[in-house]
């Protein structure tokens, strides 16, 4: 998916009429198939930028184009459809439903699809297979390790075959070895599809998996480095 941000700013209004700038004049473009890391300390704006890219938040100023379509022209229903059809999310805290097994958690993004339940189950099973977890499909989150729970969340993000995959600190709750396995899996997904993958992280060892590293500080991009394979 082609992504372009032009002069994007994001301000938050605080009590007492104080305005806090979270993003300042972000100019950025990404092409289909790119694997990008947004890197910087907590509070630098990377999660805010990821939220805008994922259509979970809107910018205060500037333009955001997805496949040359300005998202400011989209209605609320159109934004929801774009999130559902084109974007997958991976979160640090997994966000799995504790009373649903791995298969049903992976199926969640398909809930409102007009398709047979058997088709939705098959799609979810294929997503679990892609993260090497089909054999655990009937297990509940409490029966899974942290790494397995994150694999389920990745399967859930992939089930709609997104063109844009966004991950916010995807290894933050994992030990270093499991974190490496999750990052290898995410890169494998990136290489097998034409999806644009963007990861927000403060960890250089996580960013090192990406082909491009964008450093942020105080709501601004301070460097943009493309790395050799």
pLDDT in tens, 86-126: 999 998 889 999 999 999 999 998 887 777 888 889 999 99
Please report the pLDDT score of residue 229 as a whole number.
60
Please report the pLDDT score of residue 3 as a whole number.
94
Mean pLDDT score across all residues of the chain: 92
| Alpha-carbon distance values, 101 to 31, 86, 138, 205, 222 (Å) | 35, 25, 5, 31, 43
Q: Higher-confidence residue: 19 or 28?
A: 28
CB atoms closer than 10 angstroms to residue 47 = 18
The residues, any chain, with a CB within 8 Å of residue 220's CB and separated by 6 or more, are: 23, 24, 25, 26, 45
Is the pLDDT at 5 greater than 80? The verdict is yes
Q: Higher-confidence residue: 189 or 42?
A: 42
Please report the pLDDT score of residue 115 as a whole number.
73
CATH class, domain 3-226, is alpha beta
Domain segments of the chain: what residues?
Answer: 3-226
Is the pLDDT at 13 greater than 90? The verdict is no
Rounded to an integer, what distance in angstroms lies between the CA atom of residue 34 and that of residue 37? 10
């Amino acid at each position: 998916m082609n992504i372009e941000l032009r002069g994007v700013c994001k301000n938050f209004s605080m009590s007492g009429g104080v305005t806090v700038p979270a993003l300042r004049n972000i100019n950025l473009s990404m092409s289909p198939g790119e694997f990008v890391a947004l890197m910087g300390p907590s509070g630098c704006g990377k999660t805010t930028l990821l939220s805008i890219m994922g259509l979970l938040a809107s910018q205060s100023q500037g333009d955001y184009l997805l496949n040359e379509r300005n998202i400011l022209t989209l209605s609320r229903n159109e934004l929801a459809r774009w999130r559902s059809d084109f974007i997958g999310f991976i979160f640090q805290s997994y966000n799995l439903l504790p009373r649903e097994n791995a298969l049903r958690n992976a199926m969640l993004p398909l809930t409102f699809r007009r398709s047979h339940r058997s088709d939705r189950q098959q799609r979810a099973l294929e997503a679990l297979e892609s993260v090497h977890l089909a054999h655990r499909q009937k297990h509940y989150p409490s029966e899974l390790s942290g790494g397995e729970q994150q694999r389920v969340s990745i399967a859930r993000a992939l089930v709609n075959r997104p063109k844009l995959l966004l991950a916010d600190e995807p290894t933050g709750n994992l030990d270093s070895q499991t974190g490496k396995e999750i990052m290898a899996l995410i890169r494998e997904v990136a290489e097998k599809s034409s999806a644009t993958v963007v990861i927000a992280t403060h960890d250089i060892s996580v960013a090192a998996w990406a082909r491009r590293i964008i450093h942020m500080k105080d709501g601004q991009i301070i460097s943009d480095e493309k790395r050799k394979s």
